[in-house]
Amino acid sequence: MTRFEPNLRIPGPTALPPSVREAGGRQMVNHRGEEFKALLRRVETGMKPFFGTDHEVILLTCAGTGALEAAVVNVLSPGDAVLAVTMGAFGDRFAKIAEVYGAAVTRLEVEWGKAADADSVRAAAAAIPALKAVLLTHNETSTGVTNDIGVLAAAVREVAPNALLLVDAISALGAVPFAMDDWGLDLVVTGSQKAWMAAPGMAMAAVGPRAWAAGETARMPRFYLDLKRHRETAVNGETPWTPAVAVLYQVEEGLRLMQAEGEGVYVRHAAAQAMTRAGLRALGFQLLADDAIASRTVTAAWIPDTLDWKAFNAGLKRRGLVIAGGQGRLKGRIFRVGHLGSVTTDDILAAVGVLEAVAIEQGIDVRPGAAVAAAQQALLAGTGSAA
Amino acid sequence: MTRFEPNLRIPGPTALPPSVREAGGRQMVNHRGEEFKALLRRVETGMKPFFGTDHEVILLTCAGTGALEAAVVNVLSPGDAVLAVTMGAFGDRFAKIAEVYGAAVTRLEVEWGKAADADSVRAAAAAIPALKAVLLTHNETSTGVTNDIGVLAAAVREVAPNALLLVDAISALGAVPFAMDDWGLDLVVTGSQKAWMAAPGMAMAAVGPRAWAAGETARMPRFYLDLKRHRETAVNGETPWTPAVAVLYQVEEGLRLMQAEGEGVYVRHAAAQAMTRAGLRALGFQLLADDAIASRTVTAAWIPDTLDWKAFNAGLKRRGLVIAGGQGRLKGRIFRVGHLGSVTTDDILAAVGVLEAVAIEQGIDVRPGAAVAAAQQALLAGTGSAA
């Protein structure tokens, strides 16, 4: 069936709403002028409630990976003892960055598809003398699992009250409630192309006082990603280097849409998640993550041995549905459906409809309409009405 | 006088042409999909003639400063002997980055407003045992001076044939002819918001075989800005981390416009430069750089003691003309007019007209029409017709 714009259901970049697209096409301004200063301040301030923080939010011109690097190099010195709690490709990346810069990294490897449990994290933290920092993933994009960061943070605090808590919250922050200050987190990062409904190119780091203090003695080299330089220029409404102005226009507009929607943002993501899971299950797919730890922003499903994945995915693409494959050790073994940012329950109903049609085409035994009916039931059960 | 869009005459970000703005407002695509792969390859390939290189062009999601850092950390080790030839704020920044990452930096400081001369560079290079790299600025944005990179490179080669030549060509590459391979340069960087007529957020690095070879043993830590990782994924038409997709759309469109214009790009910049200089001189301003070394992309002029700069600049802004002040030690002492990227000779005529009107308003003794006449004469003398 003809479709005039793909249904982009990867876990970022996410599809841009019309007003965000328009923002991306705006003319440039002087990045040292008053108009830009006001823009930067609106975004920095507007982001804080989504982080659940009163601390500074620093805007960086880079991908999320750059923000992970910023989190590491701004607070650590070579040789520092670091615990990296990993449960997927992005947790591995975070740990790798710390290693590249010379930290003494101990990995607590959680099985991919599972969440970290507090007891294991507490024990691992307790076993490391002079533990300087713990690297945590909030939402592991490669597996569709969300950690309970508040609980994990509390567990670390019990045994290592001085350890810094550095959190990769790139792929779910903004889509789910988050409480950086209440949970006692020190540095939390996210990226523009996820829940924020903007194009990629900017990352945001919320930095607490303990992280700033650690930065005063941290000896890992840094320049472009130096958060202190960003903090110093932010006082004047500027960034130290030329920022990705057009991406910032989009972030501001996405933020405006999120502010207007209020709590509805979280309701919408929860509904999209429930619909996706119900639809995939009705098609007979096994989901990677249990319900209790499943991500609100991305759902991973196992590819059955009986399914010709290439033919299946080609069928989806022909109908304009774009989903993601697996990463790292799960490459070729799972597929992932993104449901974050501008996602609507209509988008998910359409996606489940295409998945169902192609599944039937590929010989999966399913009654026509069963998957979309399941998704619809999940929507109505969760919200009582279309979100 | 009412003006509906400012005349943005800063040396980047530059004003975006309409089709580039449209490109910035396009919908996202899967950055691991075929459409993106083709886009990345078109840009990588299309950039090479402007660099004057057959080597790989790597696309990074960062500001130009990130690309300067990439140039340093990908080829050097802590302790390496580096000669930094500086002639302004950006040359200082390049040197500072090398210092932060532990290089043993010797600075050859050229007076701000002058260009580096080959004899001094040769002597400085000859005096450093085991010289590993020389940092050069092509076009110093803070002073409006362009170095003769071919001549400087040859001078270094005479005395230190194995030294790597790392060049900041951020603010003029694309606007003037450049010959990386003929000049024997090893690593050259530029940024999307300059001659390329796109928004900021992407930087490009052309990397020669000696730089790649140096990277194999270079021990400065790097991850986000690791060029080798970018090279490895580029083979598959991908970037290692999520790229600034919308900025890349704009870079591609800017590149398309430049390709269509051909040599006219260089003619246009030369005309804009000549007009700017003639107009400013007719208003009695002393220019920082002599004609022989003057930048084709940005012109700096001294602020006379008799001029109330704040009132003058406020007058310009009221009429929609946005120019830049000085940086570093020239802050408050000069102003800078950018003439690069989408700049037209009409833009410059309009800018000179506003400068003239405000100059008269501020009591500068100039016959009405004298500056715009001088600019027009420079245009007609240089090209025989409007470029």
pLDDT digits (tens, 9 = 90+) for A368-381: 999 999 999 999 99
Number of H helices, E strands in chain A: 14, 14
Query: Do A191 and B225 count as a contact with CB atoms less than 8 A apart?
Result: no
Instruction: Choose among B29, B31, B97: nearest Cβ to A223.
Output: B97
CA nearest B223 in A: which residue? A97
Percent residues over pLDDT 70 in chain A: 98
Look at residue A3 in the predicted model and tell me its pLDDT.
79
Q: Tell me the mean pLDDT in the region A35-43.
A: 97
Distance from CA of A291 to the nearest CA of B (A): 27
- DSSP-based three-state secondary structure for B200: coil
Chain B 285-324, residues with CB within 8 Å of chain A CB atoms = 322, 324
Assign domain B263-383 to its CATH superfamily. Answer: Aspartate Aminotransferase, domain 1 (3.90.1150.10)
Which of B34, B80, B224, B298 to mutate to test binding with chain A, by most A CBs within 10 Å of its CB? B224
CA gap A117, A307 in Å, rounded: 33
Distance from CA of A381 to the nearest CA of B (A): 32
Look at residue B1 in the predicted model and tell me its pLDDT.
64
| Strand duo B139-140 + B145-146: pairing | antiparallel
| Dihedral pair phi/psi, residue A335, rounded to 5° | -125, 160
Distance from CA of A247 to the nearest CA of B (A): 8
Give CA separation, A67 vs A129, A169, A179, B60, B235, in Å: 27, 10, 19, 14, 25
CA gap B383, A302 in Å, rounded: 66
- Across the strands, what pairs with A56? A207
pLDDT digits (tens, 9 = 90+) for A122-155: 999 999 999 999 999 999 999 999 999 999 999 9
| Strand duo A81-86 + A104-109: pairing | parallel
- Across the strands, what pairs with A58? A205
Look at residue B383 in the predicted model and tell me its pLDDT.
62
Burial of residue A34 (number of CB atoms within 10 Å: 0-12, 13-18, 19+) = exposed
The closest of B364, B362, B250 to B315, measured between CA atoms, is B362
**How confident is residue A1, by pLDDT bands cut at 50, 70 and 90?**
low
Tokens of B156: 């270094």
Q: How many A/B residue pairs have CB atoms within 8 Å?
A: 191
Query: Do B30 and A324 count as a contact with CB atoms less than 8 A apart?
Result: yes
Amino acid at B364: I
Tokens of A292: 């209790």
Chain A residues closer than 8 Å to B189 by CB: none
pLDDT digits (tens, 9 = 90+) for B231-263: 999 999 999 999 999 999 999 999 999 999 999
Give CA separation, B239 vs A195, B170, B226, B231, in Å: 21, 21, 11, 8
Look at residue A386 in the predicted model and tell me its pLDDT.
44
Q: Do domains B18-259 and B263-383 have the same CATH topology?
A: no
Query: Do A28 and B14 count as a contact with CB atoms less than 8 A apart?
Result: yes
Average pLDDT, chain B: 97
Does A220 touch chain B if contact means CB atoms closer than 8 Å? yes
- Whole-angstrom distance between the N-terminal and C-terminal Cα of chain B? 26
CA gap B351, B345 in Å, rounded: 10
CA-based radius of gyration for chain B: 21
CA gap A149, A169 in Å, rounded: 10
Query: Do A246 and B247 count as a contact with CB atoms less than 8 A apart?
Result: yes
Are B99 and B91 in contact, with CB atoms under 8 Å apart?
no
Instruction: Choose among A22, A28, A30: nearest Cβ to B199.
Output: A28
CA nearest B224 in A: which residue? A66
For the question of whether the overall pTM of this predicted structure is more than 0.80, the answer is yes
Question: What does the pLDDT profile of chain B (387 residues) look like in tens digits?
Answer: 677 899 999 999 999 999 999 999 999 999 999 999 999 999 999 999 999 999 999 999 999 999 999 999 999 999 999 999 999 999 999 999 999 999 999 999 999 999 999 999 999 999 999 999 999 999 999 999 999 999 999 999 999 999 999 999 999 999 999 999 999 999 999 999 999 999 999 999 999 999 999 999 999 999 999 999 999 999 999 999 999 999 999 999 999 999 999 999 999 999 999 999 999 999 999 999 999 999 999 999 999 999 999 999 999 999 999 999 999 999 999 999 999 999 999 999 999 999 999 999 999 999 999 999 999 999 999 865 444
CA gap A30, B143 in Å, rounded: 18
**Measured torsion, CA atoms of residues B94, B98, B101, B105, in degrees rounded to the nearest 10:** -150
CB count in 10 Å sphere of residue B307: 18
Burial of residue B324 (number of CB atoms within 10 Å: 0-12, 13-18, 19+) = buried
- DSSP secondary structure, A9-36, as one string: -SSSSPPPPHHHHHHHTPPP--TTSHHH
Look at residue B386 in the predicted model and tell me its pLDDT.
44
Chain A residues closer than 8 Å to B97 by CB: 223-224
Distance from CA of A163 to the nearest CA of B (A): 24
Query: Do A12 and B221 count as a contact with CB atoms less than 8 A apart?
Result: no
Amino acid at A143: T
- DSSP secondary structure, A294-331, as one string: B-SSEEEEEPPTTS-HHHHHHHHHHTTEE-EE--GGGT
Distance from CA of A80 to the nearest CA of B (A): 15
**Per CATH, is A18-259 categorized as 3.40.630.30?**
no
Instruction: Choose among A16, A64, A242: nearest Cβ to B193.
Output: A242
Chain B residues closer than 8 Å to A16 by CB: 27-28
Assigned fold of A263-382: Aspartate Aminotransferase, domain 1 (3.90.1150)
Chain B residues closer than 8 Å to A28 by CB: 8, 13-16, 193, 199
Q: What are the residue boundaries of the structural domains of chain A, listed by start?
A: 18-259, 263-382
Which of B8, B20, B28 to mutate to test binding with chain A, by most A CBs within 10 Å of its CB? B28
| Dihedral pair phi/psi, residue B198, rounded to 5° | -115, 170
